[in-house]
Amino acid sequence: MSLIMVKFSPNGKMLNSVLFDAAMEGDDLLLIQDAVLYAVAKPELLGELKERGVNVYACKDDLIARGYDPNTVNVSVVDYEGIVDLIEKNPKIIS
């Protein structure tokens, strides 16, 4: 099990594709910084990840900072304490 942290926006970062492709069943994928825009702009991609058994999370404060209501996205939303829990839970972190 791994924690995959994605921080770049959906606008053309090839690294994001590599990280999404690396996600396997049971992994946790955390959207932080500009990557929380995936929760708004690319819900179908996140749905595909969830169908593969990947747990998808978005940082609540990063959503709010970008003007989005955390209650309107179709992923689990975590605060900073939740992020710490994800880091402690996963022996391997990919970012």
Residues 61 and 77: their CA atoms lie apart, in Å, by 9
Task: Report pLDDT digits (tens) over 59-81.
Answer: 999 999 999 999 999 999 999 99
Q: Write down the pTM of the prediction.
A: 0.93
Which whole number is the average pLDDT over 3-30?
89
pLDDT at res. 15: 74
Long-range contacts of 59-65 (CB under 8 A, 24+ apart): 59/30, 59/31, 59/32, 59/33, 59/83, 62/31, 62/32, 62/33, 62/34, 62/36, 63/36, 63/39
